[in-house]
Structures are given as structure tokens and as C-alpha cells.
Structure 1
Amino acid sequence: MSEVQSVDRAAQILHLLRVESPLSVSEISRRLAVHRSTASRLMATLESHDLVEQEGQRGAYRLGFGLLRLASAVSARVDLSRDAQVCCDAAAALLNETVNVAILDAGYAVTITQTVGQRMVGVARQYVGQRVPLHATSTGKVLLAHSPSTEQRRVMAAPLETFTAATISSPEMLAAELNAVRQRGWASAVAEWEEGINALAVPVRGPQGAVVAAFSTTAPAFRLPESAFAEHVALLREAAEQLEHRLGFLAEDPHRPRDAAGGAAGAFPED
């Protein structure tokens, strides 16, 4: 039996047990039209990974708790995208600018949700699904600043592509920028990826306190000058805190500084 055929049959077994459970080895071998010894080996392998379990010492099989651990990783991403959209909509309504939530994926920041502001002149680009550089974007800097040191070293060891005259292209400058992001709790990109476009981002923490996403706003530089950063960051933090609440992170984070402006209390949906 080939490895691919084994994987296919293992998947069939899981589908069978999802529909009808428990099933004996004999019943599974009959359903798959394979020898009982083949079915027994497949079940033993699935059991070793906690994907199935026996009812009793020599009983029939049912789905195992290992599937819950696998499913939790998927459901977490689904919940993040769904809940992030609600918070993006609320933040965009207040800021009247384009708002995004991005995650770290394979060395890039990838936007999973976006709400476009309704300004006559704005950022109309569709960012959802787009991979953007970590060193030249506000979301990328937030995600990189809170990523493992091995990921930071990997990014700084590679050539830092230049997109505009303002793009950080020096590993030393990037290291200093990431340290500043961690200290102040937010990141900016001032015409670093696109000319005439500024962006701000704050971290979003998951149930265990680790940064799982970045919440950002993007706007033309004339409407998001550096003098307006504090006001926008305060609103982004409020949005990020509401998203964190939805994700199950309830504790106050001692490492995330809050400026005097604070957040816009009650401005974002609780449910």
C-alpha cells in the first residue's frame, strides 16, 4: 500500500467516524474494502497520534481528542478574521480611513480583514490577502518586533528591499526601529512602502498574551501627518483591545504603554 493511499484511507476513516461512531476494525475494513490487518494498522497509526481512540481495551473506535488540538488552530484563525472584521468596521467608522488587521505568515505581513474609509480621496487598494514586507510597513514592524529573535535575525540578514527614499534599508536602523516599536507599543510607516501614504499599527494579543496580529490604519500623508499620530494610535489601541477581548485576552498588558489620550471608551462593540 503506497503512502498516498494510506493517507487517503486514513482520511476516509476519519470521515467515517465523523458520520458514525464507534466502529470496529472489522466494520472499518468492510467499509473501506481492505483486509482487516490493513485496517488494524491504519487504526493503530491514527491512535498513536490521538486522532482516534478505543472504547475500552479492545473496543470499537471513535474520534480522538487530537483532532480538537488540530481544529483549535484553524478555529482560532477563523475567529480572528471574523472578530477582526467587526472591530475594523467600527474603527473605520470613527477614523473614516482604511483600517486593516494583518498576521505574520511565511515571512510577510498578510492582511486578513480590511474596511475602507469613505473619504473622497483615500486608500482604495484592496490589501486583503496581499503579502507586504515586514521592514517597510507598520503592520510588518509590529509583527516583526514581537516575533522570535530567529525571525528578526533572518529578516535583517537578508537584503532589505527599498521601495521609497524613506524605506529602512539598514539592519542596524531596523533593529533600532523594532526596539522603539516594542518600547512605545506602536509602529509607523511614513511613506516607507508607498509614496505619499502613511500608516500606523498596534499589536493585538491572543488568549495567552502573545501578539497574534497587528491592527492598522492607512491614509494619505496630508491627512495622517505625524502630528496626528497620537490621536490615531489611541483609537487603534481601543480597537485592538476590543479585538483582544473577543479573542479571550482579558489581562492588562504591562508591556503595552498607554498615552495620556487613552482610548475611546465605549466606541467599539463588545459582542
Structure 2
Amino acid sequence: MTSQHISDTATDPEGAQHGGVQSVDRAIAVLEILAREGDAGVSEIADQVGIHKSTASRLLGALQARDLVQQNNERGKYQLGFGILRLAASIPGRLSLVQEARPTLEALAAEFKETVNLAVLRSNFAVNVDQAMGPSTLATHNWIGSLTPLHATSSGKVLLAALSADERDRILKETGLPAKTSLTITSRRKLEEQLRQVVRDGIAITHEELEIGLNAAAVPVFNHSGAVIGAVSISGPVFRFEPENQPGLLEALKQAGLEISRRMGYSTA
């Protein structure tokens, strides 16, 4: 990204209407400069980005507050902070989870001929990051990338149950418990009872809580330290999929969760 590009963006009338995007553009430019130069002062950054020193100072202050940059007390120059390492470190973990889970997802979908999803917690939602489709022609919905409500899905309940009481309370206060169907649990007391059962049983089951006609069951995936990092779910239409009544399904689902967990370094010993 060049300083000419930044300057052009700043003077473009349409770009001026999108100050938030412009600020992000400039912040990225600052990070790129520090990555290239190693360190730089406010004046140097302002010159290269093509902005006033006060604007550069505000950008650096915002990045510093997030630990994305830090200031060298001796030289007064800025360099990349440890927050960059924290963000970078999260990438292989997410990628490896999908990679390690894939064979197990496919085997489970083939055995029970239903849709199997892998979900993680992101921005107060359960987001599906991978999916294996059963051979049924009805299993055609692509859930990958879908942000699904935590309180109304089997994966979401697994992820909610693993949170601390404070973190769960924060999320549910922000999202509320909106009814997705007439069967969605909208009572906090009833939800907490369900979550305690999820912890006891190691599995969450939902009956038409997200969509009428759709049932699902999910189990947790653990990392090397025993923390829940995801959930594996299997879902299907009500007329043929009743998780509790399908011979061997719940045990196979639990074993699938443990297999993926072992691949992520988890040990039950």
C-alpha cells in the first residue's frame, strides 16, 4: 500500500463518506510500515501515510491500546507489539482444527447419512467452519460460515456450557434469547438447567429450536489443555432423525468428539 493510495483515498468524496473504512485502511498502512521498517516515529509514519502528525498519533494510540504496537521508551519510536503475535498464533489453531476434524466429520456423515458440522465460538455466535454432507438428497443446506444463535442450537449450547458464568452472562445479556421457533428455549432459568445437563451428559440435543423440522445433537471438542475449542454436531429432518432413538448415534458422536480432541492434543488419562 503506497502513501499515494492513502492520499487519494483521503481526498475522494465517496471515501470521505466512509471514515471508518478509511481509518482501517490507514491503520493497516501503519502496521505495514512498522513491519517493513522495524520501527518508526510519528513524523515518519505521518509522512509515509500522507496524513497529519496528530492523525498519526491518534492511530498509533488506538493500535497501542490493543497491544498491536508498542513504543520504545528510549528512542520514542513505535514498533509492532505482542498483540500481533497473539492474533497470528490463533490462525494455525483454527486451521488445524478444521484439518484434523475433517476425516472424522466425513466418517460420521457417511455412517449415519446426515449432515455433520464443526462449529466454534465467534462474536457471540456459533459459526460453522466445516461441514460433511450425508448422501441423502435432502441434506443440501450449506451451513459453512453461518452464524447461529448459541441458545437455539446444539453446538451453541455445548459452547455456552463451557463458558464461565460471567462470560455466559455477558453474551446472553448482549444477544438475548430470541425465539427462532415456538420450541426455542427463551427462559434463562430453563436454559441454565439445560446447560448443566449438557455438562453432566457431555452432549446437547435440540428439537426444532432453530428451524421447524430440524433436530440436532452436538458434543464438545477439547484442546491439549482440556478447554473446549469447538463442537461437532449432527443434524437431520424430524421425520427421520431422532438423535436419542437412533441406535449407536449418540455414542458415535461422543467418540467423534473425542477423536478430534485427541488429534488436537487432548488426553483423557
Instruction: Specify if TM > 0.5.
Output: yes
1:154-179 deviations in Å (ceiling 9; x for gaps): 53894541503x33233322221111
The residue aligned with 2:105 is 88
What's the TM-score once normalised by structure 2's chain length? 0.69
Q: Distance in 2 between matches of 1:84 and 1:45?
A: 37
The residue aligned with 2:153 is 137
Contact persistence 1:162–1:168 (CA under 8 A): no
SS in 2 for 1:135: helix
SS in 2 for 1:173: helix
Aligned pair partner of 2:86 in 51, 69, 88: 69
The residue aligned with 2:179 is 161
Contact persistence 1:143–1:213 (CA under 8 A): yes
SS in 1 for 2:140: coil
Shift of 1:238: 2.4
Query: How many percent identity over aligned positions?
Result: 35
Contact persistence 2:223–2:266 (CA under 8 A): no
Q: What one-letter code is carried by the residue in structure 1 that aligns with 2:215?
A: N
- Gap runs ≥5 in structure 1: 254-271
Contact persistence 2:206–2:215 (CA under 8 A): yes
- What is the aligned residue count? 247
The alpha-carbon distance between structure 1 residues 242 and 21, as it changes in their structure 2 partners (threshold 3 A), is farther
Alignment of 1:146-225 (within 5 A): 146-153=162-169, 155=172, 158-164=176-182, 166-225=183-242
Q: Distance in 2 between matches of 1:43 and 1:160?
A: 39
Contact persistence 1:160–1:170 (CA under 8 A): no
Q: What one-letter code is carried by the residue in structure 2 that aligns with 1:161?
A: A
Q: Distance in 2 between matches of 1:225 and 1:45?
A: 51
Shift of 1:14: 3.9
Q: Distance in 2 between matches of 1:162 and 1:29?
A: 49
What's the TM-score once normalised by structure 1's chain length? 0.69
Q: Distance in 2 between matches of 1:196 and 1:213?
A: 25
Shift of 1:7: 7.3
The residue aligned with 1:265 is none
When the two chains are superposed, the root-mean-square deviation of aligned CA atoms in Å is 4.0
1:102-135 deviations in Å (ceiling 9; x for gaps): 1223332221111111124x33212122222222
1:149-206 deviations in Å (ceiling 9; x for gaps): 2344353894541503x33233322221111111000010123333332211001113
Q: Distance in 2 between matches of 1:221 and 1:11?
A: 48
